[in-house]
Structure 1
Amino acid sequence: MKFFKVIRGDIKVIFERDPAAKSFVEVILCYPGLHAILIHRMSHGLYKRGWVVLPRVISNIARFLTGIEIHPGAKLGKGVFIDHGTGVVIGETTEIGDNVTIYQGSTLGGTGKEKGKRHPTIGNNVVISTGAKVLGPFKVGDNSKIGAGSVVLREVPENCTVVGIPGRVVIRDNKKILAFDAIDLEHGKLPDPISEELNSLNQRINKLEQMLKKVERSDKDEVV
């Protein structure tokens, strides 16, 4: 019963987060992210019971059918939504919390070749945007957002927005944990720290040029 309750939750979040979802039949038949998660939940159950080869075969079949690779050892919470999903890779020791949204092309990968925990832990209500790479055995805090194309190599506190290569925290709000129905999916509206820094440098250059002109004018006045 618990398994089917989790599956109902996986289907429910699609209607809550994807305005393109029109009907139950459409979601069941046409959402590869849902297919990948459902197959993973079965392979993960076998993996926890000590099976190795069969769960890997099942995950490879799921990758062939959906374009999404989830290692059977990965732990997924409730309400995980993989949108479109092509190119998503989730490694063996990854742990994903509840109500997480993952967009296409994202990687939750490991670093090094040591055994044990080597993939990230994703908190609750996290949004991982298109093409983002989260690499290493650290945690991404609750309610955080990883910007499109970012490469995150170190821990992310709660309630943060991370952008860039390597990823940098550009917003830290410290608000209370978002309600389930208030997950911020505006992953296309993110600040650009490089642009902001260039604007800041440009303003300083303009200021220095104005100061230099004043000095030049004062020198001319003295000569006269």
Structure 2
Amino acid sequence: MSNYSTLQKDFYRESGKWLSTFQIWKKFFSPNLHFIYLLRTTQKHPKHTLLGKVWRVILRHYQIKYGFQIYPETQIGEGLYLGHWGALVINPKAKIGRNCNIAQGVTIAQANRGKNEGVPEIGDEVWIGPNAVIVGNIKIGNNVLIAPNAYVNFDIPSNAVAIGNPATFTLNENATSGYINHKIG
């Protein structure tokens, strides 16, 4: 799988098939996949170069059009899956691991004061449900399911399910089983 680009790995998560460049272009009618393409392409170009500036303008247009506030500076692992489009906000300093699913309405934000001042770091194979809020200098482990509408402002260990507002968690070895499909190895 190392011969495939990050973009191909992102698109693999949607269909479970390795796609050619032409097949990727055919999927542009899906706003979430179109945005992933633009994000990954923008991430390839340094900010200070002409191409970097052009791609950032294009990406900004589609951030507004689709409602995805994800910046090219955000560190996101391979296999990103955006289940639906609209109203998604991710702080550019956040770190997100591989094979993560992020639903609509999610906020991954910075805390500007208090004991958790800073931004979240999210592990691999994390499923984040609709309208969940993850805020502060916290660590979310691997294989974690964050339920819809959960408010998480503390560390969540690996192999856990977080639910509620404020969130509580329970350990579960199969936390994301059936939620994260077509994983990149």
Distance 2:24 2:137 in 1: 38
Of the two, which has the highest radius of gyration? 1
Aligned to 2:14: 14
Question: Which 4+ stretches in 1 moved above 4 angstroms?
Answer: 24-27
May I ask how many residue pairs the two structures share in their alignment? 168
In structure 1, C-alpha distance between the alignment counterparts of 2:142 and 2:161, rounded to whole Å: 11
Q: How far apart in 2 are the matches of 1:156 and 1:35?
A: 31
SS in 2 for 1:60: helix
Letter in 2 for 1:144: V
Do 1:62 and 1:69's aligned partners in 2 also have CA atoms closer than 8 Å?
no
Distance in structure 2 (CA, Å) of the matches to 1:30 and 1:95: 28
Alpha-carbon distance in 2 for matches of 1:50, 1:166: 41
Three-state SS of the structure 2 residue aligned to 1:108 is strand
Number of the residue aligned with 2:109: 109
CA RMSD of aligned residues (A): 2.9
Deviations 1:77-119 (A, max 9, x none): 1111001121111111111111100111111111107xxx932
Deviates more, 1:75-84 or 1:57-66: 57-66
- Give the alignment of 1:109-148 within 5 angstroms: 109-112=109-112, 118-148=118-148
Quick one: distance in 1 between partners of 2:75 and 2:111? 18
What code does the residue aligned with 1:67 have? G
Mark the runs of 5 or more structure 2 residues left unpaired by the alignment. 17-22, 181-185
Distance 1:140 1:110, change over 3 A: same
1:184 aligns to 2:183 (yes or no): no
- The Cα offsets for residues 23-55 of structure 1, whole Å up to 9 and x where unpaired, read as x579712322222222112222335x556x936
Conservation of the 8 A alpha-carbon contact between 1:125 and 1:183: no
Partners of 2:91 and 2:137 lie apart in 1 by 11
TM-score, normalising length from structure 1?
Answer: 0.65
Q: Which has the higher contact order (CA 8 A, sep 6+)?
A: 2
Q: What CA distance in whole angstroms lies between the structure 2 residues aligned with 1:26 and 1:39?
A: 11
What do the CA deviations read for 1:109-137 (whole angstroms, capped 9, x no partner)?
11107xxx932111111000000010112
Structure 1 residues 9, 81: closer, same or farther in 2, change over 3 A? same
How many Å separate the matches in 2 of 1:15 and 1:143? 21
Alpha-carbon distance in structure 1 between the residues aligned to 2:57 and 2:137: 25
Unaligned runs of 5+ in 1: 17-23, 187-224
1:174-220 CA distances to partner (integer Å, 9 max, x unpaired)?
A: 56xx8xxx74319xxxxxxxxxxxxxxxxxxxxxxxxxxxxxxxxxx
Aligned to 2:32: 33
What is the Cα deviation at residue 64 of structure 1?
2.2
What residue number does 1:201 align with?
none
Is the Cα contact below 8 Å between 2:11 and 2:24 reproduced in 1? Answer: no
Taking only the aligned residue pairs, the percentage that are identical comes to 24
TM-score (normalizing by structure 2): 0.78
